[in-house]
């Protein structure tokens, strides 16, 4: 019960606007010490150490650095503008480009913090420059940034494979089509929105200086080459086995610095400034993780996990009722506990029931992964939302972000339902 009260208290206190990380930490401390005594916090160094030794998270500073260098050298801006122009009169070109860039990042990392922040740095300023609706821009970035969860390689799929006893390769394979359908749904949504409301995502205005169509295409190609080379380095190094996905993020960072040299944008000041900015953003991401780990510690050590277990054990024992209620339960829990906890605590409770009901476990795993991806987007505790807020200019308000993600959450739920209803289409019948 304490866990539930703690959750709502944190919710209210967050609204006052004190930094999220320390509000979580402080609330955890007050409730934890009150219920269990100070000694619970002796666990904190161990919890922090588990982040320190989690080398997959190293992608966070490294990809952020790559994003910041690309931004400072204007290479990212040129890429997105060029892609936007290439789509020509298509409104929403920048948003679609953002989704495509997000897809490429997703294919090289499964760490949401790294993707959302890098995307926020790379494309938010450009979309703002071209007067995109704030909420559309924010929603697009948050949603694209979470694609790393479903597009392999993905941490959540690896964990689910482990928990459910399914080979990781099978899950990676099965996740591809749902991932592409989701990306397609995002793009279709952007096209519809910009058709209904041209103001939301204006086309990059055409002026004479931009030259003929042919010149535009050439310009676009020129602008695309350097960042594309970078993407090829990152993805290529993973694909050829030169580097692990995490290491590829460092190659991306080094590659970005080399590009800045080639394009005469390099200076030591730029390098140090980029590193300093990276530290600020990285610290923001990890402070939230530190606060959240304290919060989840207090939640589980005061009996929160037991309550959740009990609720789940009372789910109905008939196929559709079970699936629908377990999906709703995961979605709701995703509002306030992190996906690792869900994978390790909730999924093992559901798995034997699913097995008994003859449910295809790969299908079940993909449903859960899609569902957990959504939990990164759901206000108020969606980590993507915090991360984007942390790098957004102050003209972007929390409300813009909340409003922006709602349609994308609905899209994800729609795709989730389509996987539920048409497993055969997704090859998981």
Site for Na ion, rule CB under 5 A? 106, 110, 148, 151, 154, 334-335, 375, 378, 381-382
Asked if 241 interacts with other proteins (CB under 8 A), we say yes
Q: Where are the alpha helices (DSSP H) in 87-167?
A: 93-106, 112-129, 134-145, 155-164
Q: Shortest Cβ distance from residue 209 to Na ion (Å)?
A: 39
The one segment of 126-134, 191-199, 284-292, 322-330 that binds other proteins by CB under 8 A: 284-292
Q: Which does 148 bind (CB under 5 to 8 A by kind): other proteins, Na ion, none?
A: Na ion
Q: Which does 287 bind (CB under 5 to 8 A by kind): other proteins, Na ion, none?
A: other proteins
| 242 binds, options Na ion, other proteins, none, Cβ within 5 to 8 A by partner type | other proteins
| Nearest CA-CA partner of 376 in 387, 390, 361, 365 | 387
Nearest residue (CB) to Na ion, 106 versus 127: 106
CB hemisphere CA count around 267 (13 angstroms): 6
Q: What span, in angstroms and rounded, lies between the C-alpha atoms of 293 and 374? A: 20
- 51 lines the binding site for other proteins (CB under 8 A): yes
- Indicate whether 284 belongs to the interface with other proteins (CB under 8 A): yes
Query: Interface with other proteins includes 339 (CB under 8 A)?
Result: no
CB of 129 to Na ion, least distance (A): 29
Which is nearer to other proteins, 122 or 411 (by Cβ)? Answer: 122
Q: How many CB atoms lie within 10 A of CB 247?
A: 17
Question: Radius of gyration over alpha carbons of the chain, in Å?
Answer: 22
Residues 18-47 that bind other proteins (CB under 8 A): 18-23, 25-30, 38-39, 41-47
Kindly determine how many residues on this chain lie close enough to bind other proteins according to the rule CB under 8 A: 114
- Six token digits for residue 189: 């949504």
| Alpha-carbon gap, residue 244 to 313, rounded angstroms | 39
Closest to other proteins by CB, 149 vs 194, is 149
Residue 104 and residue 147: Cα distance in Å, rounded? 9
Binding at 106: pick from Na ion, other proteins, none (beta carbon under 5-8 Å per type): Na ion
* Of 391, 181, 172, 428, residue with least CA distance to 280: 391
Pairwise CA distance, residues 244 & 235, whole Å: 10
How far is residue 133 from each of residues 146, 197, 202, 380, measured CA to CA in Å? 20, 10, 9, 21
The listed partner (Na ion, other proteins, none) that binds 382, CB under 5 to 8 Å by sort, is Na ion
Residues 174-233 that bind other proteins (CB under 8 A): none
Residue selected from 191, 345, 357, 413 as contacting other proteins according to rule CB under 8 A: 345
Q: Within 13 Å and on the Cβ side, how many CA atoms surround 209? A: 2
* 245 binds, options other proteins, Na ion, none, Cβ within 5 to 8 A by partner type: other proteins
> Helix, strand, coil shares of the chain as percentages rounded to 5?
80, 0, 20
Q: Which is nearer to Na ion, 123 or 154 (CB)?
A: 154
Restricting to residues 112-131, name those near other proteins by CB under 8 A.
121, 125
298 binds other proteins (CB under 8 A): no
Question: Residue 81 Cβ, how far from Na ion at the closest point, in Å?
Answer: 26
Rounded Cα–Cα distance for residues 125 and 146 (Å): 19
Q: Which two tokens stand for residue 282?
A: 């990285």
């Amino acid at each position: 019960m304490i866990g539930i009260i703690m959750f709502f208290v944190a919710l209210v206190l967050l609204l006052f606007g004190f930094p999220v990380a320390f509000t979580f930490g402080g609330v955890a401390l007050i409730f934890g010490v009150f219920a269990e005594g100070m000694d619970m916090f002796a666990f904190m160094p161990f919890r922090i150490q588990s982040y320190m030794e989690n080398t997959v998270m190293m992608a966070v500073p490294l990809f952020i650095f790559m994003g910041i260098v690309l931004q400072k050298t204007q290479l990212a801006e040129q890429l997105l503008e060029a892609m936007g122009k290439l789509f020509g009169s298509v409104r929403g070109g920048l948003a679609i480009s953002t989704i495509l860039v997000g897809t490429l990042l997703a294919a090289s990392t499964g760490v949401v913090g790294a993707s959302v922040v890098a995307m926020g740095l790379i494309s938010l300023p450009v979309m703002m420059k071209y007067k995109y609706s704030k909420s559309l821009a924010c929603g697009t970035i948050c949603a694209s940034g979470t694609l790393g969860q479903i597009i392999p390689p993905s941490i959540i799929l690896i964990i689910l494979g482990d928990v459910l006893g399914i080979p990781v390769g099978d899950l990676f394979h099965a996740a591809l089509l749902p991932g592409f359908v989701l990306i397609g749904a995002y793009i279709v949504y952007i096209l519809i929105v910009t058709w209904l409301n041209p103001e939301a995502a204006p086309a990059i205005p055409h002026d004479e200086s931009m030259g003929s169509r042919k010149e535009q295409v050439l310009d676009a190609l020129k602008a695309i080459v350097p960042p594309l080379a970078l993407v090829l380095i990152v993805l290529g190094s993973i694909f050829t086995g030169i580097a692990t996905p995490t290491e590829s993020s460092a190659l991306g960072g080094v590659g970005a610095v080399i590009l800045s040299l080639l394009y005469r944008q390099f200076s030591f000041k730029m390098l140090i400034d980029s590193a300093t900015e990276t530290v600020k953003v990285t610290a923001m991401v990890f402070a939230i993780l530190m606060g959240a780990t304290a919060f989840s510690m207090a939640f589980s050590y005061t009996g929160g996990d037991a309550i959740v277990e009990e609720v789940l054990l009372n789910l109905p024992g008939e196929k559709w009722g079970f699936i629908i209620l377990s999906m709703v339960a995961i979605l709701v829990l995703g509002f306030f506990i992190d996906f690792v906890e869900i994978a390790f605590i909730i999924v093992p409770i559901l798995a034997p029931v699913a097995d008994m009901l003859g449910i295809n476990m790969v299908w079940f795993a993909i449903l859960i992964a899609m569902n957990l991806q959504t939990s990164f987007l759901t206000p108020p505790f969606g980590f993507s939302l915090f991360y984007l807020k942390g790098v957004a200019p102050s003209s972007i308000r929390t409300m813009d972000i909340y409003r922006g993600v709602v349609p994308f959450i609905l899209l994800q739920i729609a795709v989730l339902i389509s996987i539920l209803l048409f497993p055969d289409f997704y090859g998981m019948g």
